[in-house]
Structure 1
């Protein structure tokens, strides 16, 4: 009898652990969506200098792709100018080529020693376009989060027989999803406010 009770308790502990692992897995996936959204928002050019727009730029050097910030100093010179000074002079044309090939849509000015990137001021039309694009990205991210919620609700339904326990987990999954949606909405609202203000 004691053996059966211990076995039952052990089984419950394993099941609970599995459910907690599933919840952690779900949160990890939602975190990836949140971080991807943050990255997207950080790269939006809003008429002020922001070195994060250069984060993904790599330079072909000795047949290797090297991140720009590993081979040059990058600094904000003033409100809308970024300066890039390579640590080796021969890197200057390679860096310039990489920036031109990237999708940031800015032409750097090469003075022979460093590159100057001037971020143009936003027109009213461009502001509206950015806000529209941001809202599309927001809706897309929300759909992904809701799909993750739907997927984990289905998994929990298969794993949990007791309806009360399932409803408890379902409620928790819904709460977590709402929290992540709220986080990305706040990030976007802040960015859209900046875009309208500048």
Structure 2
């Protein structure tokens, strides 16, 4: 129903809009994906403790998923150690389970009062795993960008009768999509070099 209404609105708008406005709408969507990917990759800290790696951890608490930061104090203890001090010690097992489930390659030590996370030294195998993990994220981001391209191609096709105009719009949509794919590939390649270098 939402899609139908959105297309209906666009159907009314497109005759009065220029190509630039349609491309701007598409770029806004693609920028969100680009920024999300950039933040995702930036969170991968290599060989150094940084609390940002735990930003997306949610914990099952009273049948609700709660962000780790809402139920515990998190601090960097040493250059390769993070301490997690929950408000209630009963939730320690659930926190540990969530961290391990996130598959971040972290070593957790639960002493009954807090969880100590040790950031392991970067082995060759760990480097390969980080690159594989980033490659999967890269491919997902590319798929989303291509889906946005597909969505806007359909909007154009649905709302514009003139085939030449449709082809011009599609050409510009393809150019913008390639630009954004290139941008996320550059982010990925920089991170890959960082992983291999350290």
TM-score under structure 2 length normalisation: 0.72
Aligned length: 188
- Alignment partner of 1:126 is 2:121: no
CA distance 1:14–1:44, shift in 2 (3 Å): closer
CA distance 1:42–1:33, shift in 2 (3 Å): same
Cα RMSD, aligned residues only: 3.4
Corresponding residue for 1:196?
Answer: 196
Conserved in 1, the CA contact under 8 Å of 2:60 and 2:66?
Answer: yes
SS of the residue 2:113 aligns to: coil
CA distance 1:158–1:107, shift in 2 (3 Å): same
Conserved in 2, the CA contact under 8 Å of 1:57 and 1:99?
Answer: yes
CA distance 1:59–1:104, shift in 2 (3 Å): same
SS of the residue 1:108 aligns to: strand
Corresponding residue for 2:179?
Answer: 179
Give 1:186 deviation, angstroms: 2.3
Conserved in 1, the CA contact under 8 Å of 2:14 and 2:159?
Answer: no
Give 1:128 deviation, angstroms: 3.1
Corresponding residue for 1:7?
Answer: none
Gap runs ≥5 in structure 1: 1-10
Matches of 1:149 and 1:22 in 2, distance apart? 12
Give CA deviations for 1:136-195 in whole Å, capped at 9, x if unaligned: 543453344234324423432342234554354334323321331132122212211220
CA distance 1:101–1:171, shift in 2 (3 Å): closer
Compare CA radii of gyration and give the structure with the larger one.
1
Q: Residues 21-36 of structure 1 correspond to what in structure 2 (within 5 A)?
A: 23=23, 26-36=26-36
Give 1:82 deviation, angstroms: 1.1
Give CA deviations for 1:47-98 in whole Å, capped at 9, x if unaligned: 2223233223223333333211101111222332111112334433442343
Conserved in 1, the CA contact under 8 Å of 2:107 and 2:120?
Answer: no
- Choose 97-106 or 20-29, whichever is displaced more: 20-29
Conserved in 2, the CA contact under 8 Å of 1:85 and 1:113?
Answer: yes
TM-score under structure 1 length normalisation: 0.72
Gap runs ≥5 in structure 2: 1-10
Matches of 1:133 and 1:14 in 2, distance apart? 40
